[in-house]
Amino acid sequence: MQAQTLEGGFANPPADAAHAFRGVMEAMARPGTLHQLAGATPPAPLSAAAGAVLLTLCDTETPLYLAGDADCAAVRAWVAFHTGAPLADAANCAFAIGTWQALAPLSGFPVGTPDYPDRSATLIVECDTLDTKGATLTGPGIRDSAALSLPDPQAFRDNAARFPLGLDFLFTCGDRVAALPRTTRVR
């Protein structure tokens, strides 16, 4: 086993995972806000924030889809060693990670069912930039409005129109994360 596979996890897993979990939950509760996630050093092409999200949210019962460049031997081995998450195709995943282009089309991911809307996927979108400017966001967790640099605002408007079905999104860049739950309206 290569050293890179063994390295890059949380130094203090209980505390680091708790801090990362709080950051992810804060991002989901307050769409359009940026939160720092530290402690993970995953292999390229994953960002530190994406690694922290995977270490925190994935386990042996959460199927993960690796899209595009994220589907490489180094990431597969790292995920297997640190989380044990089974790899799946897009139609059967709980989480998916990749760039926006690699994750397209969104229609391939589970959006839940009327009886079980929670059986949808959460997409972890690796971004080149992540800023609190761009598309205007409104909805639960947002006082008046917020803004977030989104890759395709229309795709998120279409997703929100499917509520209570739909996808949830985490955006990662460097050591930062932002979220866009399906309840958020995008203008």
Is residue 1's pLDDT more than 90? no
Burial (0-12, 13-18, 19+ Cβ within 10 Å), 1 = exposed
The confidence band for 7, taking pLDDT boundaries of 50, 70 and 90, is confident
d(CA 132, CA 35): 11
The whole domain housing 98 covers 3-186
- Alpha helix (H) residue ranges in 10-105: 13-29, 48-57, 73-82, 100-103
pLDDT in tens, 72-120: 999 999 999 999 999 999 999 999 999 999 999 999 999 999 999 999 9
Of 126, 128, 74, the C-alpha closest to 103 is 126
What's residue 4's pLDDT?
Answer: 63
Number of domains in the chain: 1
What's residue 47's pLDDT?
Answer: 98
Least reliable range by pLDDT among 6-10, 59-63, 86-90, 117-121: 6-10
The H or E element that residue 155 is part of is helix 153-161
Is residue 6's pLDDT more than 80? no
pLDDT greater at residue 6 or residue 48: 48
What's residue 2's pLDDT?
Answer: 64
Rg of the chain on CA atoms, in Å: 16
CATH number, position 81? 3.40.50.11310
Task: State the average pLDDT over residues 62-72.
Answer: 98
- Share the mean pLDDT of the chain: 96
The confidence band for 3, taking pLDDT boundaries of 50, 70 and 90, is low
Task: State the average pLDDT over residues 24-46.
Answer: 97
Let me know the angle formed at the C-alpha of 123 by 119 and 129, rounded to the nearest 5 degrees: 160
